[in-house]
Amino acid sequence: MKKDKWILPYLRQHRGLFLLSILLGSLTTLFGGALMFTSGYLISKAATRPESILMVYVPIVGVRTFGIGRAVLNYTERLIGHSLVLKILSSLRVKLYQLVEPQALLLRSRFRTGDLLGVLANDIEHLQDFYLKTMFPAIISIIIYAVLIACAGIFSLSFAALLSIFVGLILFLSPFLSILYIKSKKEQLKQGRNQSYLQFTEAILGISDWIFSGQFMKFIQRYGAHERQLLKLEKKIHSFVNVRDFINQLILGLVVIFTVYSANEFSIAGKVPPTLIAAFGLIMVSLLESFLPIASAISDTPIYQDSIKRLTSMQAVKLDKEPELLEQEWSNLSEVTLSAKEITFGYEGKTLLDNLSLTINQGEKVAIIGRSGSGKSTLLKLIYGALTPTSGSISLNGQAVDKMDPSISNIISCLHQQAYLFNTSVFNNIRLGNPEAPDEEVYQVARLVQLDEMIKNLPNGYDTIMQETGQRFSGGERQRIALARILLQNTPVVLLDEPTVGLDPITESKLLRTIFETLKGKTIIWVTHHLIGVERMDRVLFMDAGKIAMDGTHQQLFERESRYRRLYHLDRPFS
């Protein structure tokens, strides 16, 4: 709890509303009990046929007072409680965004997209349920329990002791057993659901292969068997809940009978009038019924714990300097030296980069080649801060890149294999590179990437909607729009992560020519499988097993490295 940053800080911040909500919730329950108590007394007193209406006037007024008061208190408690929770959720959402936005690249490398969406969409809402359905009712129930036992002790200590044990079965033992049993079953169910979602997603993505292979019926049978196992697990949970609720109701009934019996004994002993016997039974029914939902609410605690665990795991990496200061330092920088010193990176016992050192000066054009798994893409992710090296460091002008988020976007831009295009206008998609850019700059970069004429011929010109993921355009056109974004972003360092993958040779050659012409003067780090265009680069790095096996110009490597010559001839058979 000392490390908690998602619950206690906000309760302290809004402790006034929190205490008021608890007080009103307790009074609501007590007023409900008082309503039943006075109703029971009124019925019993009226049955004695009092000589005057004045003999039952006070309980009549009490019934009306407690009935109206309970409704008013309940409404006020809901109003204040929900107001408190909404204030907390508003702060939590702001905090979550402030955590996620500066380290977006790092988070994407550590978490699956589904996990991020789950945090943003569900986990904050889970905390809302925690406050409203678990924390508040649990605290109120403990307060009511203490008041109930204290009042019972006025009549008899033995009565209070037995009552505390019986009521404790509902309030403490039942939730404890529930969380032990249901937590384990829900963990099994969660793992099963995750496996089910994985299987189903893979089946949807590969449905054509399932059909053409003639194996789709086997998949359906296997998937159906898995779902039946999960259904059995769910039935076990429901059966436990039903048995638990039945036992709680049984205990409630026994407690009411015990209370009525004890009240009768008190009446015989002259401690209470006979007209209060029914009142004792009815108030016990009202108060105990408020305890029954606690077991179900406590059973959901593992869900809240998982949510808090995910939120906590996304705590931002502490920056050496304030982001605003970093941004001011780097915003107008045009000369950048990139230095990698003895970097090593790996996971699960597998080394992807092994003690690699590298220096790239401003304006250098470097191609990084090598077979799949040699560490090319990993090196690129380390350069723009999406990954943190296991040892060693990567720096820009002496500043470690993994401590520069979000300011690194002022120095490095990246053209990926498939840049995402949003379902908005062509103009807005280009302007994403610099939201503050004047309109004329957007048109200028479109002309530089040779898209201006094509865009003007669209139905609505630059206002034409791209459609989802840019489906309106070809692969080459989509990459040119992404390149226009980078030109608008105007960073001194540009990373090219195989931007021509999937393009035909002619389109690939044209796009590469455009890229190199428009990025003159900038540092280019180009990861590629193909050797088309490497003649334009100042250096070619050949990576193998996480190390730089070759380093030199295209001509140098071609002359002295037989392996490089073979690769070049294989990739360029007619050159």
Alpha carbon distance 549, 367 (integer Å) = 13
CATH assignment of the domain containing 300:
1.20.1560.10
Is residue 268 situated within a structural domain? yes
pLDDT-above-70 percentage for the chain: 87
pLDDT of residue 469: 56
Residues 505-520: pLDDT tens digits? 788 788 888 888 888 8
Let me know if residue 112 belongs to a domain: yes
Q: Is the pLDDT of residue 317 over 50?
A: no
Which of 254, 284, 313 lies at the terminal end of a domain, its last residue? 313
* Tens of pLDDT, residues 401-446: 767 655 677 788 888 877 777 778 888 888 888 888 888 888 888 8
Considering the domain boundaries, does residue 1 fall inside one?
no
* Domain end marker among 269, 294, 313: 313
Q: Are residues 158 and 50 in the same domain?
A: yes
Length of the chain: 575
Judge contact between 488 and 437, C-beta under 8 A: yes
Structural domain of residue 18, as residue ranges? Answer: 8-313
Place of tokens 């678990």: 134
- pLDDT for 1 beyond 50: no
Percentage of residues in the chain with pLDDT exceeding 90? 25
**How many CB atoms are closer than 10 A to CB 155?**
17
Q: Which has the higher per-residue pLDDT, 145 or 322?
A: 145
Do 52 and 155 fall within a single domain? yes
User: Which of 89-103, 235-249, 272-286 is predicted least confidently?
Assistant: 89-103
Residues 117 and 159 in one domain: yes
CA distance 547 to 429: 38
Local confidence band at 320 (pLDDT 50, 70, 90 cut-offs) = very low
- Answer yes or no: is 443 within a domain: yes
- The confidence score (pLDDT) of residue 120 equals 57
Mean pLDDT across the chain, nearest whole number?
82
Which is higher by pLDDT, 91 or 233?
233
Alpha carbon 370 to its chain centroid, in Å, reads 36
Instruction: Identify whether 573 is preceded by a cis peptide bond (ω within 30 of 0).
Output: no
The verdict on 228 and 371 lying in the same domain is no
Three-state SS for 570? helix
Structure confidence at residue 145 as a pLDDT band (50, 70, 90): very high
Contact call for residues 565 and 558 (beta carbons, < 8 A): yes
> Which of 277-286, 480-489, 503-512 has the lowest average pLDDT?
503-512
> In this structure, is residue 318 part of a structural domain?
no
Would you place residue 532 in the very low, low, confident or very high pLDDT band (cuts 50, 70, 90)?
confident
Q: Identify the pLDDT of residue 24.
A: 95
Per-residue pLDDT, 116: 55
- Asked if residue 431 and residue 284 are part of one domain, the reply reads no
Range 365-392 average pLDDT: 83
**220 and 73, same structural domain?**
yes
Strand extents, DSSP E, 404-520: 412-415, 493-497
In a domain, 215, yes or no: yes
HSE-up (13 A, CA, CB side) for residue 2? 0
Contact 401, 384 (CB under 8 A): yes
Q: What is the pLDDT of residues 379-412, one digit of tens each?
A: 888 887 777 788 888 888 888 876 765 567 778 8
- pLDDT at residue 114 tops 50: no
DSSP 373-391: TSSHHHHHHHHTTSS--SE
Our count of domains for the chain comes to 3
